[in-house]
């Protein structure tokens, strides 16, 4: 047996995993080879020493610390499960999609698509006719959806019905004092229900309401002033304002367009939008409500938890003696305070977003909301005359410019003429 082979087997020998045959040949080698014996003894001693290394005790507070972390982890796991469930439901949708494609149902989907095309083509042919209609359609749609939303509120939060009733008189007062000019009677009732549902953060729903209105108006500046006074009366403010001329025709025909971003208190939302819509012809109207009730309450609960932890840390702090303990508790406290304040800020932001709804109004000035045949202007002849004069003037200017150009460029022209003469001279000479 060679030394290399022996060294391969040494460790197995120490661990008692050699076969009898290997054992015998290794022992024979060790008897004869001194260096391998030293090597073997060294290995054996090293392994023996490592075997004598004692297990360390768990550090102080190990299990307590672990316990807290495990509780946290189990909380995370519950959240995770929820997410998984929602993911599963979206899987169902994708499975449905897959089947849809696999079974080649998409062939039949051509039929509705064609129908839609036909409808759109018809719309294209009679745009003015459809415009007026779509307004009505839209309004009825909005009415339906709000009704549906209210139904949902009633069924889900049936218990809140009483609190709504309790709040509504107050809100009613607020609305009356703001004294709106138009549509007040019809709009107030709706506003009451809506705002009462949203105003109580602890029990009601938290909804971020945004909407955008596009409309044609006559008299741009007047309407902007009216909108501004409406917003001020409701206690809101204008976040953004922008106005410019659409195109420059002549001094009389300036048409403007622009947009305003309004922030109004949620109680005044419906009133404001209705009043604005009454100012002109609405060409597009969209509103969006994001329900953040769940996130809001989760955050509130999180803050509660953190505050409890903070309280406990303070108790521990009062018992701590060693500097290192105090420092580490201090660290932990700072971290928790930071978390609490960031969550609180988030909640403030949400409250702000919920209490003030955002409305974007895009105004487009038109000459007349209803198309009319305009009478022939009295000043037609004077306009024609002005046009004729301006044409004459432009002809005059052209010739003036031509003369100026010729004189200004005469040095070039003279020298070019000389060169042309010389060339002509030589050309004729050669021909002769």
Cβ-proximal residues to 78 (8 Å cutoff; 6+ apart), any chain: none
Question: In terms of CB distance, is 83 or 94 closer to other proteins?
Answer: 83
By the rule CB under 8 A, 35 interacts with other proteins: yes
By the rule CB under 8 A, 52 interacts with other proteins: yes
Span of 53-61, 286-294, 297-305, 377-385 interacting with other proteins by CB under 8 A: 53-61
Residue 254 and residue 186 in contact, taking contact as beta carbons nearer than 8 Å: no
Question: In terms of CB distance, is 74 or 90 closer to other proteins?
Answer: 74
Question: How do 281-291 and 256-265 pair as beta strands?
Answer: unpaired
Question: In terms of CB distance, is 81 or 370 closer to other proteins?
Answer: 81
By the rule CB under 8 A, 50 interacts with other proteins: yes
Question: In terms of CB distance, is 35 or 90 closer to other proteins?
Answer: 35
Question: In terms of CB distance, is 65 or 344 closer to other proteins?
Answer: 65
Shortest Cβ distance from residue 54 to other proteins (Å)?
A: 9
Q: What single string gives the DSSP state of each residue in 3-15? A: HHHHHHHHHHHHT
Span of 70-78, 150-158, 251-259, 346-354 interacting with other proteins by CB under 8 A: 70-78
Q: Which letter, b or e, does each residue of 312-343 get, where b requires 16 or more Cβ atoms within 10 Å of its Cβ? A: ebeeeeeebeeeeeeeebeeebeebeebbeeb
Question: DSSP class of residue 286?
Answer: E
Shortest Cβ distance from residue 71 to other proteins (Å)?
A: 6
Shortest Cβ distance from residue 328 to other proteins (Å)?
A: 12
Best CA proximity match to 191, nearest among 225, 234, 157 = 234
Cβ-proximal residues to 241 (8 Å cutoff; 6+ apart), any chain: 224, 258, 259, 260, 261
403 alpha-carbon distance from chain centroid: 63
Question: 3, 62, 304, 337: which one contacts other proteins (CB under 8 A)?
Answer: 62
Question: In terms of CB distance, is 244 or 324 closer to other proteins?
Answer: 324
* Burial of residue 350 (number of CB atoms within 10 Å: 0-12, 13-18, 19+): middle
* Positions in 76-135 near other proteins (CB under 8 A): 76-78
By the rule CB under 8 A, 328 interacts with other proteins: no
By the rule CB under 8 A, 309 interacts with other proteins: no
Phi, psi of 264 (to 5 degrees): -125, 150
CA angle 181/182/188 to nearest 5° reads 100
By CB under 8 A, how many residues form the interface with other proteins? 39
Q: Which residues bind other proteins (CB under 8 A)?
A: 7-8, 11-12, 15, 17, 34-35, 37-38, 41-43, 45-47, 49-53, 55-59, 62-63, 65-67, 69-71, 73-74, 76-78
């Amino acid at each position: 047996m060679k030394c290399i082979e022996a060294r391969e087997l040494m460790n197995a020998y120490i661990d008692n995993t050699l076969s009898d045959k290997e054992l015998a040949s290794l022992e024979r080698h060790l008897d004869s080879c001194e260096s391998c014996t030293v090597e073997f003894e060294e290995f054996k001693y090293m392994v023996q020493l490592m075997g004598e290394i004692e297990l360390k005790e768990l550090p102080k507070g190990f299990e307590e610390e672990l316990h807290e972390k495990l509780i946290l982890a189990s909380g995370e796991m519950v959240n995770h499960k929820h997410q998984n469930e929602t993911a599963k439901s979206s899987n169902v949708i994708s499975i449905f999609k897959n089947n849809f494609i696999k079974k080649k149902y998409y062939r039949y989907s051509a039929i509705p698509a064609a129908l839609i095309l036909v409808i759109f083509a018809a719309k294209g042919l009679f745009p003015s006719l459809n415009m007026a209609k779509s307004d009505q359609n839209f309004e009825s749609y909005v009415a339906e959806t709000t009704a549906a939303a209210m139904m949902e509120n009633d069924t889900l939060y049936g218990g809140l019905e009483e609190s709504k009733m309790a709040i509504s008189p107050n809100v009613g007062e607020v609305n009356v004092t703001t004294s709106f000019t138009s549509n007040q009677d019809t709009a107030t009732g709706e506003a009451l229900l809506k705002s009462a549902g949203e105003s109580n953060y602890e029990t009601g729903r938290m909804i971020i309401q945004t909407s955008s209105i596009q409309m044609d108006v006559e008299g741009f500046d007047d309407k902007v002033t009216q909108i501004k006074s409406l917003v001020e009366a409701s206690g809101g403010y204008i976040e953004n304002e922008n106005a410019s001329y659409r195109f420059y025709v002549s001094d009389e025909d300036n048409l403007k367009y622009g947009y305003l971003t309004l922030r109004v208190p949620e109680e005044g939302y419906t009133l404001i939008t209705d009043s604005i819509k009454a100012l002109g012809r609405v060409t597009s109207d969209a509103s969006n409500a994001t329900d953040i009730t769940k996130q809001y309450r989760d955050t509130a609960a999180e803050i509660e938890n953190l505050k409890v932890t903070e309280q406990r840390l303070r108790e521990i702090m009062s018992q701590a003696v060693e500097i290192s303990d105090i420092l580490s508790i201090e660290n932990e406290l700072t971290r928790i305070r930071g978390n609490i304040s960031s969550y609180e800020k988030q909640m403030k932001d949400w409250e702000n977003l919920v209490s003030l709804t955002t409305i974007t109004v895009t105004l487009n000035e038109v000459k007349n909301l209803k198309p009319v045949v305009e009478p022939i202007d009295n000043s037609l002849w004077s306009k024609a005359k002005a046009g004729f004069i301006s044409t004459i003037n432009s002809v005059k200017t052209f010739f003036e410019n031509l003369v100026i150009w010729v004189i200004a460029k005469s040095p070039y022209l003279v020298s070019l003429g000389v060169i042309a003469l010389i060339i002509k001279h030589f050309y004729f000479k050669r021909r002769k």
